[in-house]
Amino acid sequence: VYKIIIVGAGNVAWHLAIELEKQGHHITEVYSRHVANAKLLSQQLYEARATNQLDFLASDADIALVAVADDALGEVVAALRLPPDVILAHTSGTQTMEILKVSTENIGVFYPLQTFTKSKNISFAAIPICIEAANKEALDSLGELATSLSQEVYVLDSEQRKALHIAAVVACNFTNHLLGIAKEILDDKDMDFEMLFPLIQETISKAMSMNPKDAQTGPAKRGDTKVISKHLLYLEEYPTYKAIYQTITDSIANK
C-alpha cells in the first residue's frame, strides 16, 4: 500500500487515482492548475487534498504520479517541490524518463497503455502498464504499484515506450478515425453504421488470431485497379478521405 500524490486531473489522472484507491492505496494530494478540477477528482477519493500549488515538501507520500498533457510536463516538473525520498514518475507514452531529472534523481515512468474517457468505466486488470526507473528501489516500488492494478506489467526503456506509443496511435487513434469515415460514408447514403459491426468484429478477431499481414484482403491486396478507380471516383466528394484511401491502398499494394 502506497501513499500517492496525483499531479493532474485529466482522463488518465482521473481513472488512475480512483483505481489506485480501489486497490487499497491512498491518494494524499491531487493537483490541478485549476483547483476546481482538482476538487472534482478529490471528491471521488477518500481524503485527498485538492491543490493548485506544486509544493509538496510537507507531504508524507511515497510516490508522485504526474499525469498532465505532454506539453505541460516540463513546466510542471520544474515547479514541483518534493521530499527527497519520494519517487517521481510520469504517465506519458512519449516523454523520456530524464525529463523528470530537474526535480529529483528518484525517477521513473508509469505508463498505462489504454484510451481513457472520464465518462466510461474501464477494467484495469488487463491494461498493460509499462514501467521504467532510474534505480532498483524505484523500479521495485513502481513494479509493485503496477502489479496491484494489472496482471500485464512490462519493463520498457524509453525508446521501446516511444515505439509502443506510435503503434498505439496507429492501431487505435487512427483505426477509430477510419471507423468514423466509414460511418460518415454510410450516413450520407442513409445506411446504418451497425451494418458494419459483424465485419469489424471479424476483422479485429482475425488480425489478433492470425498475423494481420496474412489476414489482409480487399481490392488493394488483390491489385484490383478497376475497383480502386471506382472508389477513388466516388471519394471525389471527400478529398481528405480520398487522400487516405490512396495512401493506404499504395501501402497495401507495395507489400
Q: Where are the beta strands (DSSP E) in 48-123?
A: 49-51, 63-66, 87-90, 107-112
Does 121 engage in binding with a copy of itself (CB under 8 A)? no
Quote the DSSP letter at residue 236.
G
Regarding 189 and contact with a copy of itself (CB under 8 A), the answer is yes
Residue 236 interacts with a copy of itself (CB under 8 A)? no
Is the Cβ of residue 92 or residue 104 nearer to a copy of itself in the bound state?
Answer: 92
Does 83 interact with a copy of itself (rule: CB under 8 A)? no
For 28, the grid coordinates are 494524499
Residue 210 Cβ vs a copy of itself, minimum distance, rounded to whole Å? 8
- Identity of the residue, 23 or 158, whose beta carbon is nearer to a copy of itself in the bound complex: 158
State yes or no: residue 75 binds a copy of itself (CB under 8 A). no
Q: Does 160 bind a copy of itself (CB under 8 A)?
A: yes
What is residue 55's DSSP assignment?
A: B
Chain residues 190-209 in contact with a copy of itself, contact rule CB under 8 A: 190-191, 195-204, 206-208
Identify which of residues 53 and 247 has a Cβ nearer to a copy of itself in the complex: 247
C-alpha cell at 160: 521501446
- Using CB under 8 A as the binding rule, whether residue 147 contacts a copy of itself is answered as no
Could you tell me the smallest distance in angstroms from the CB atom of residue 9 to a copy of itself? 16
* Residue from 36, 69, 78, 102 binding a copy of itself (CB under 8 A): 69
The cell numbers describing 110, all together, are 508509469
Q: Hey, is 54 helix, strand or coil?
A: coil
Instruction: Tell which positions 164-183 bind a copy of itself, by CB under 8 A.
Output: 164-183
Q: Is 21 in the site for a copy of itself (CB under 8 A)?
A: no
Phi-psi region of 244 (alpha: psi -120 to 50; beta: other; left: phi over 0): alpha
- Interaction of residue 33 with a copy of itself, rule CB under 8 A: no
Interhelix angle 175-187/239-253, rounded to 10 degrees, is 130
Instruction: Rank residues 137 and 184 by Cβ distance to a copy of itself and give the closer one.
Output: 184
Q: Does 151 bind a copy of itself (CB under 8 A)?
A: no
Helices 136-149 and 11-22 cross at an angle (nearest 10°) of 80
C-alpha cell at position 164 = 509502443
Does 158 participate in binding a copy of itself (rule CB under 8 A)?
no
Strand partners of residue 5:
29, 64
Provide, rounded to whole angstroms, the least separation between the CB of residue 73 and a copy of itself: 10
Q: Which is nearer to a copy of itself, 139 or 196 (CB)?
A: 196
E strand map for the chain? 3-7, 26-31, 49-51, 63-66, 87-90, 107-112, 129-133, 153-155
